[in-house]
Amino acid sequence: MRKFSPDWFRQQFPALHKPYCYLDSAATSLRPQVMIEATQAYYQNGGTVHRSHYSQAKEATERYEACRQQVAQLINAAEANQIIWTRGSTESINLVAQAWLAHQLQPGDEILVSEAEHHANLLPWLMLAEQTGAKVVRWPLSPQGELEVDELALRLTARTRLLAVTQMSNVTGYVPPMAEIIALAHQAGVPVLVDGAQGIVHQPTDVQRWDADFYVFSAHKLYGPTGIGVLYARKDRLAEMRPTQGGGKIISHVDFDGYRLLSAPWCFEPGTPNIAGVIGLASALGFHQSVDWQAAEAWTCQLADYAAEQLAALPGITLFRAAGSPIISFVFESLHSADLFTLISEHNVALRVGQHCAQPLMQALGVQGTLRASFAAYNTYDDVEKLVRAVTFAYQLLTEEE
């Protein structure tokens, strides 16, 4: 039976065995000991995948391919071969842009992108538009910081070739109504790519129920290693993709007259892959499956609720946070966030400051940047108290100097 104990959960993360208030999980999560050990064990034992037949290589290949099934189960994909390994969400989105959409676009075609997106889900489409003569169309947020489905219907046209939308904002924690959005886009004949980098660890994900055409996420925000990511593609979209890179391990035959590609997903994974990353992800997913994540997320949001309540009492503060979100972004009137951040950091509180790779969203919010505290299940009420004390200290010191 899966359970969740905040104390036990926190003890699984070596980085937290020392006094450390880590509130930057929206950027990258910390890693549990079991994942660290799995990665280390691979490097100690050696062996590549697919190409060799000695025992270490066979074991590595089995674990490497078994992880596809773990990912398929996590997001409820129909088959493991719909899972393509990449270096992260960013590369996954770029792969869709170049391997699927690029050869379909004509000048004047449109790519619809929400205003809530991380740059990773905007820049690839802007670059592709430059390359093909297409254009990127903005789906704006409402004054409440949400995406309105009625507004989406007005933005979808006969020239729209893709809708790109986040599962969760990395600035406010806002979660769009994904099933409703995808259904409306599909009614207009528009495929949808969902950026799950932020949402995968906080929200249940069901690509079949949503009927998502593409779904991406990175292991490092799911308690896994850096440098490994996932691209899920619906079967019909997978069949429409064309490999953009050549190399070893993607063909069944090659000579100077031509080549025969392997089937997907292997034809999209040239070269020696990040084997340790996949094995580390497999271990992180095993850890994930041992925890009651509904209870873990409830604990995380409970902490964020308390932190938001405490911070809101400070004079001149503005919070940017969706209801029940594990993410709190904030600014103070007449105070520069970078100055606040410098003072907060002196209290050993790890926050994020800046535009969070979301400049269009910052413009929509009417700010140059924010401070951001992002919570995870390994945080505690003590972390909240440290955050509030540090922010209060920084605020008081800076306002006394005015």
Token representation of residue 314: 């400070």
Q: Does the residue 149 lie in any domain?
A: yes
Q: Where would I find the H helices in 196-292?
A: 207-210, 235-240, 275-289
Tell whether 60 is covered by a domain: yes
- Could you tell me the CATH number of the domain that includes residue 145? 3.40.640.10
pLDDT for 55 equals 80
pLDDT at 2: 82
Strands (E), 145-271: 160-166, 192-195, 214-218, 229-233, 251-255, 258-261
Domain end, chosen from 289, 318, 341, is at: 289
The range of the structural domain enclosing residue 98 comes to: 35-289
Question: Does some domain include residue 1?
Answer: no
Q: Report how far residue 196's alpha carbon sits from residue 224's, in angstroms, rounded to the nearest whole number.
A: 15
Q: What averages of pLDDT result for each successive group of 10 residues across the chain (402 residues)?
A: 91 94 98 97 87 78 94 98 98 98 97 98 98 98 93 96 98 98 98 98 97 98 98 98 94 95 95 95 96 96 98 97 97 94 96 97 96 98 98 94 54
- Note if the pTM is more than 0.85: yes
Q: What is the dihedral of CA 35, 40, 41, 44, to 10 degrees?
A: 170
283 and 391 inside one domain? no
Same domain membership, residue 317 and residue 283: no
pLDDT for 401: 56
Same domain? For 62 and 207 the reply is yes
Kindly state whether residues 234 and 273 are assigned to the same domain: yes
Contact in structure between 164 and 190 (CB atoms under 8 Å): no
- Check whether residue 106 and residue 192 sit in a common domain: yes
> Sign of torsion, CA 55 60 65 70?
positive
Q: Which of 227, 260, 289 is at the close of a domain? A: 289
262: left (phi over 0), alpha (psi -120 to 50) or beta: beta
Residues 72 and 23 in one domain: no
Domain count, the chain: 2
Contact status, residue 174 vs residue 145, Cβ threshold 8 Å: yes
Q: Tell whether 179 and 75 lie within a shared domain.
A: yes
Q: Is residue 383 part of a domain?
A: yes
CA–CA gap between residue 281 and residue 291 (Å, rounded): 16
- Of 21, 267, 301, 357, the active-site residue reads 357
In a domain, 68, yes or no: yes
Pair 196, 105 in one domain: yes
- 67 flagged as catalytic: no
Among residues 244, 261, 289, which one ends one of the domains? Answer: 289
For the chain, the helix, strand and coil percentages under 3-state DSSP, each to the nearest 5:
45, 15, 40
pLDDT at 1: 62
Same domain, 100 and 115: yes
- Count of residues for the chain? 402
Residue 312 in domain: yes
Check which CATH number belongs to the domain holding 18 and give it.
Answer: 3.90.1150.10
Concatenated DSSP letters for 114-135?
ETT--GGGTHHHHHHHHHHT-E
Residue 387: burial class (beta carbons within 10 Å; 0-12, 13-18, 19+) = buried
Kindly state whether residue 366 falls inside one of the protein's structural domains: yes
> Do 77 and 150 sit in the same domain of this protein?
yes
Same structural domain, 177 and 305: no
Cis peptide, bond prior to residue 6, ω within 30 of zero: no
- In this structure, the answer to whether residues 96 and 110 fall within a common structural domain is yes
List the alpha helices (DSSP H) in 32-54.
33-45
Rg (CA), the chain: 22
